[in-house]
Structure formats: C-alpha cells, structure tokens
Amino acid sequence: MIRTKNISAGFTLIEVLLAIAILAVVVSMVYTSFSSVTTTIGVSRVNSEELRLRQFLERSFQNNFASVYMDQGLGLPGYQFIGLNEDSPDGPVDSIRFASSALMMGGMALPGDLKEVRYEVLGVEGRIGDFSLRDDVDEDAGPQLRATETPLSVANLMALSGDVDDPERESESDSGFDAPTWTVPIRSFDVRYYDGAEWVDEWDSEVVGRLPWSVHVKVNFARTEAQIEEEENDRIDIEEFPDFEMVIPLPAGMGRIQDAREIASMEAQRDLQSRQLAGQQGTIQAGGAADTADGTPSAGTSVFGVNSRGTDTPRVPKQ
C-alpha cells in the first residue's frame, strides 16, 4: 500500500513581506495624490475667495471715491472728507469718511441722492472705530474692515454733527443704524492721500480746504498663524506686497491747489459785483428814459447829450 503526503499550498514569509511592501507603496502613492488634490482644491478655493474680495473692493472703492462730493463752504459735517491714520501690531488700521453721489448698496436711496461712506477697521484691541455709529463689534473675530453707507438725510446730518447728548437727535437718526454694511476679515488697511506734491497719511478737508487728488489704498486679508509664520520665514513684506492695492483719482479734487472756501468767497464776491453793476446800468437806463411826454427832461435828468464828436452838447427841449 502506497501512502501519499497531503502538501497544502501557501505563501512563504518572503512573499508575504514583499506583498506588504508593494501594498504600502501603492497606498502611499494614492494618499499622496489624494492629499495633493485636496491641498490644490483648498488653495484654489482660497484664491477664488480672495479674487472675489478683490473684485468687490475694487468696485466699492472705485464707485464711491470717483463720486466724492464736498460742500464748497465746508460748513456741513456730513460732507467733510476726513481720513485718520492709526496703527496696530499687524499694520495700519486707517479710517476714512466722505460723502458720495454713487448709488447706494441695496437700492435704499434714489439715484442722485448723496450718502455718507465710512471705511473703518473694527475689532482691534477694544477699538470701537472713529466714525462708527454701531456698537455690535465682535472682537473675537479679529480685525474687520467695515464699510457703511448712510443716506444724508436731515436727521442723519444732525446725528453726524456730534451732538449725541440730544435725545431727540438720537431718535431722529435711527434710520442711520439700518444703513447697509459689509465686512471683510483683514490684517491691515492703509490709506494715503496725494495733495498734488506728495503722499500724506491723513486728510481733513476742513483744515486743508479741498479734496486730495488721488487716494492710495492697501489691504491685507486675514491669515492663519501658519500662513503668517510662513510669510515671516519667506521674509515677505506685506506693506510692500499687499494682497490688494489700488490708486483711485478723485475727479472733484484733481488739479485743485486752492482752498475751496477762498474760491467760493471769490465767486460770491464776483457775483455780488455783477449784480451791483447790473443794478447801476439799470438805474442809468431808467434815468435816460425819464423825459416827460412833452420832451422836456424830468427832474434829476441831465440836459446834456453826446454829439458825434464825443463832446457834451446841450439838449434842446422840443417846442
């Protein structure tokens, strides 16, 4: 009788180790590809969001600054052009306020109506804002660039005059609290003004008496701590290479170097002189036509005329 051995087929230890090594390589390649795709999608999403913010800021700045309006007499507080310069540990956090004739966000005013525009940075070390009429600031959210557009109605002008102790004025300006706003998380907001000779950090139309020629705006968007550390390692200067940068000419201030109040005073004086001269000419003409019906000059009328040679000759009454 012949006995046979049952030999069961299996993998050797070397084969198992080789299979595990191949599987590890394949999984590593798949994970690397998946991680790369995920990172690329995240970067593309961030870049797309920053592009959307740049386009939005460009439209807002261009429309509002290009339509700046200033009261020639500089007597109304709501029509002043005021830019303040402030700093924070992360960079400039400037504020600016002016009047504009551009269309209002949300269609809350008729075309041609004037509005007050405020750009200010809130949420920085308990800072409420230089022009803010609101107190709903979330300091935990970090620095935020807020834009507020308020119709320049009579009640809002009274609220902007600075008399906040008057309860009647405060109640009349309630509409200003419902003004449309938008916010953007940022690190810094820097605004400079060109006066025709150099760039300056602040502007007050009541002091200067006119508008700047152009406005230079720089914005750096909010970053994570890892991104900030990476920028510091790469030695990137955010003031020299900001995320958003724009220079906007102001047509209402371009080329002006004289105080608007002096120009308004000169125009008013010329207008007064023109009216006085017109009144004198009207008096002379009325006096020349004051002769009576019989041809004799009336009282107070000169009895001399002018002949062809330019000399005075007596005027002879009709017989």
Tell me the C-alpha distance between 202 and 215, whole Å: 11
Please answer whether residues 65 and 102 qualify as being in contact, where contact means their C-beta atoms are separated by less than 8 angstroms. Answer: no
Res 116 pLDDT > 50: yes
Rounded to whole angstroms, the maximal C-alpha distance in the chain is 181
Task: Locate the domains of the chain by residue range.
Answer: 50-261
pLDDT at 258 over 90: no
Q: Is the dihedral of CA 199, 202, 207, 213 positive or negative?
A: positive
d(CA 170, CA 164): 6
Q: pLDDT, tens digit, for every residue of 219-238?
A: 999 888 888 888 888 888 88
| pLDDT tens digit sequence for 28-71 | 898 888 888 887 887 788 788 888 889 999 999 999 999 998 87
> What are the Cα distances from residue 243, in Å, to 24, 40, 47, 69, 237?
42, 20, 11, 29, 11
The predicted pLDDT at position 153 comes to: 67
- pLDDT given at position 215: 96
Which residue stretches of 149-192 are H helix? 154-160, 167-172
Q: Is 112 exposed, middle or buried (0-12, 13-18, 19+ CB in 10 A)?
A: exposed
How many helices (H) and strands (E) the chain has is answered by 6, 14
**Could you give the CA distance from residue 53 to residue 162 in angstroms, rounded to a whole number?**
33
At 100 the pLDDT is 92
Q: How far apart are the first and last CA of the chain?
A: 181
